[in-house]
Structure 1
Amino acid sequence: MSTETIGVAPWMALPETQAVIAALEARGSPGCARFVGGCVRNTLMGKPIDDIDIATTLTPDAVIEALGQAKLRAIPTGVDHGTVTAVSNGRPYEITTLRRDVSTDGRRAVVAFTQDWSEDAQRRDFRFNALYVDIHGRLYDPTGEGVNDAREGRVVFVGDPTTRIREDSLRILRFFRFHAWYGRGDPDQEALAACKALIGLAEGLAAERVQKELLKLLAADDPRATVRLMAATGVLSRVLPSVESPARFEGLVAIETEQLFENDPELRLAALLPDDPKIAEQVAERLRLSNALKARLIAAAGASPRIVSWMSPREIRRVVYDLGLNTFSDRVKLAWAASGRSATTPQWRGLLALAETWTPPAFPLTGEEVLKAGAPKGPMVGEVMREVETWWIDQDFIEDKFSIIERLKAVVQGMAF
């Protein structure tokens, strides 16, 4: 099963990493713990490493005991499924006992622990996620194809795709997510056919799981081809029934790529939805998005005031004052993406630049000044202030306090109290 060595990668040489492996091997034996999954795959593909996951032949109780003896913190994050999180000098390591599935219902699995690395590999989703490497950099590829898949950018299920999906229907979305991040060229046709045939199984997935996979997919550098694939297979409409056309989404990704904006999965989600705050709210509730993201989607979906590339500086300031910089920026990018014009069009970039360099002033009028001008206490104070503020905005946020007070007097005199 050992095919080659990848050497000791920097993340493997970290003192924190070495301490965790040493603790496990002291309780078990040399080689009882190996790195697995994304850290191995990404090292082979030359991509950044996020999480460091470890597989072991030790039972969860033995893992907790080993970490305790080494004075490392152990968190029982998923003991029933064999997972313990070790914390070494503040860095987390997810440690999972080798497992095999006893039964599954498409969402949850009943597992039994095993000592067999090949058996553990057979229950994983994709071949390039079923790779293991020991602390010395020796690579283990139980399926025989995981290394080639990683190096060639192929997303292929372990064994039969239909069986893997029936074990956990979230793997349909995971297939597209991994293809968006790591796939090169055409997708695996057997996997694609299975995803299309079994898409109905995704109906019962927890909203939080769907949300997590969808936002991860949209965070890929260029998920356009994958989203097209999802649309063509009917998967996209199952996940987001409100999607009308991915065209604006594709335009947004092009803008981000060419203008060197950061990938913004939340705005990309907004780009897939129509400009209708009610629909944005429905999608947010369907996916159980956070209140902050829900508010952002609803604000971005607003159609008024209309955003166009030929807005004057005065109009830009007025809208930024009304919407706030973040919402204005979201709506500019969405309008730019929907315009069908080149991502390098300077007018759109100019709107953003002006907005980003302008600090909206505070309205320079107080309730006390309104009262001194003759307005009675109560709701009329707010009404007078709103009337003066509207004039102040029309005057392009005039700074002349004398003129503002004169306008205040005129408004108070003109109102019947």
Structure 2
Amino acid sequence: MKLPETPWHQRQSLKDLIAVLDGHQGATRYVGGAVRDTLLSIPAKDIDLATTLRPDAVIARLKDADITAVPTGIEHGTVTAVTEDGPVEITTLRCDVSTDGRRATVAFSDDWKEDAARRDFTINALFADPETLEVYDYFGGLADLEKRHIRFIGSAEQRIAEDHLRIMRYFRFLARFGQHDVDKETFDACRKAARELSKLSRERVADELMKLLGAVDPVYAVQEMIEADVFANIVDEIDPGAGPLLAVLILREEAYDIPPDPVRRLVALLPKDADKTAEIVTSLRFSKKLRRAVADRLRTLKPAVSNIPAIAYHYGKDAARDIALLFVADGDLDTSLAKLKKWSKPVFPITGGDLIAMGLKPGPIVAESLRAVETAWIEEQFPDENRVRTLARDIVKGR
């Protein structure tokens, strides 16, 4: 089989890079995701190369060709070439010398099959010759790709023992490429080793989780993760109805043509207790921005059409949309999303100085009264300035 011709093959910077690395003499091949995705007619995001050249030779050749070389993973043989069309990772063929479940010690190799054997899934171990576009498949990856079957190369237990994060990668690839069936050996190996996930860097686990939730439809993969006790080893608990709620959410996203969002989907999975969820997202070392986004989406669990604009005012239009998708009743969702579509945040039309001009004495009571006026304004769905001044005068009189 040959790799179909695609626009990325025609990049002059890539052709020049391959020439520098003796690609046309068989020393360098395309590898991994670019090969896999092109065969699936999916636009390739990252172009990776594998080569028999040693890292120091790669760096020397790039330098001679005036191509910037960054030793991004030099201990594992990876050098990144910075081209005008974007970065390209170049990795010397390798074999594992030892692993401890988190990192590997490698030795460099000249054997393409040996390098393929240390990769995770059969569909990720495909190489392609840059000259002929001939695809090299050592472990049945082409057949698995055709069936959308995700399985490890060789022993699933051994592959997972080499790097326990591969459990998360398996379910992420199942969400992205799978066809609603799991490889029994792989599933059993994931369940058996699931407890090892608790020993991994929380950042690495969280990164894989969010990538998984960004897939078009991760419902089946998430349900299988629950069955395999994977979630029990990465978060303290999930919502008992997580699977069904996530499924409904995704149906709503599709119905209203709203792109997938990992944060929104994470909220569907986690407990609907703001304090408990805050503990979970903190333990996963999420950024402050993401933790705040999750918290905002749990502040109003029973929204109605009437208060969707108020939610948008307080927490932003995106948060209000997500809250509607997650929690608004079916009969009200059309109206809620329609309100948001044409909504823009209004400006509160009066200031503390206006209240003082109405007779309020300067001091803390001004800020307190201003908040009361703003609350009344929001409750009345943001009326015009004349109405706000009437509300303000009524509040000032009562002080």
TM-score for both structures, normalised by structure 1: 0.90
Residue 330, structure 1, aligned to residue 322, structure 2: yes
CA distance in 2, matches of 1:407, 1:221: 48
Aligned to 1:58: 53
Of 142, 150, 154 in structure 2, the residue corresponding to residue 147 of structure 1 is 142
- The code of the aligned residue for 2:137 comes to D
Which consecutive segments of 4 or more residues in structure 1 shift more than 6 A? none
- The code of the aligned residue for 1:40 comes to V
CA distance in 1, matches of 2:182, 2:379: 55
Residue 307, structure 1, aligned to residue 291, structure 2: no
Residue 38, structure 1, aligned to residue 33, structure 2: yes
List aligned pairs for 1:17-416, cutoff 5 A: 17-25=14-22, 30-136=25-131, 137-143=133-139, 145-243=140-238, 244-245=240-241, 246-303=243-300, 306-308=302-304, 311-312=305-306, 315-336=307-328, 341=330, 347-401=332-386, 403-415=387-399
- The code of the aligned residue for 1:10 comes to P
CA distance in 2, matches of 1:372, 1:396: 25
Report the CA distance shift for 1:160/1:6 in structure 2 as closer, same or farther (over 3 A).
same
Tell me, what secondary structure is at the counterpart of 1:100? Answer: strand
CA distance in 2, matches of 1:114, 1:54: 15
CA distance in 2, matches of 1:371, 1:280: 42
Pairwise CA distance, 1:380: 1.9
Structure 1, gaps ≥5 residues long: none
- The code of the aligned residue for 1:217 comes to L
Tell me, what secondary structure is at the counterpart of 1:17? Answer: helix
Pairwise CA distance, 1:49: 0.9
Contact 2:253 2:325 in 1 (8 A): no
Tell me, what secondary structure is at the counterpart of 1:391? Answer: helix
- Which has the higher mean CA deviation after the structures are superposed, 377-386 or 263-272? 377-386
- The code of the aligned residue for 1:52 comes to I
CA distance in 1, matches of 2:379, 2:138: 70
Contact 1:176 1:226 in 2 (8 A): yes
CA distance in 1, matches of 2:42, 2:384: 53
Contact 2:309 2:320 in 1 (8 A): no
Report the CA distance shift for 1:90/1:41 in structure 2 as closer, same or farther (over 3 A).
closer
Tell me, what secondary structure is at the counterpart of 2:119? Answer: coil
Contact 1:34 1:134 in 2 (8 A): yes
Pairwise CA distance, 1:378: 2.8
Contact 1:34 1:132 in 2 (8 A): yes
Tell me, what secondary structure is at the counterpart of 2:96? Answer: strand
Pairwise CA distance, 1:410: 4.1
- The code of the aligned residue for 2:157 comes to T
CA deviations on 1:161-180 (whole Å, 9 max, x unpaired) are: 11111000111111111111
CA distance in 2, matches of 1:319, 1:80: 50
- The code of the aligned residue for 1:331 comes to I
Report the CA distance shift for 1:216/1:392 in structure 2 as closer, same or farther (over 3 A).
closer
- The code of the aligned residue for 2:259 comes to E
CA distance in 2, matches of 1:53, 1:208: 24
- The code of the aligned residue for 1:255 comes to R
Pairwise CA distance, 1:185: 4.4
CA deviations on 1:251-302 (whole Å, 9 max, x unpaired) are: 1112112332111121111100122111221121121112111111111112
Tell me, what secondary structure is at the counterpart of 1:349? Answer: helix
TM-score for both structures, normalised by structure 2: 0.94
CA distance in 1, matches of 2:276, 2:56: 48
CA distance in 1, matches of 2:379, 2:2: 69
Of 3, 6, 11 in structure 1, the residue corresponding to residue 3 of structure 2 is 6
Report the CA distance shift for 1:317/1:141 in structure 2 as closer, same or farther (over 3 A).
closer
CA deviations on 1:365-415 (whole Å, 9 max, x unpaired) are: 1222222233333322211212222333344323143x5445434433432
Report the CA distance shift for 1:80/1:408 in structure 2 as closer, same or farther (over 3 A).
same
Tell me, what secondary structure is at the counterpart of 1:5? Answer: coil
The two structures, once aligned, show a CA RMSD in angstroms of: 1.9
Structure 2, gaps ≥5 residues long: none
Report the CA distance shift for 1:12/1:394 in structure 2 as closer, same or farther (over 3 A).
closer
Report the CA distance shift for 1:174/1:395 in structure 2 as closer, same or farther (over 3 A).
closer
Contact 1:277 1:299 in 2 (8 A): no
CA distance in 1, matches of 2:171, 2:391: 60
CA distance in 1, matches of 2:212, 2:277: 19
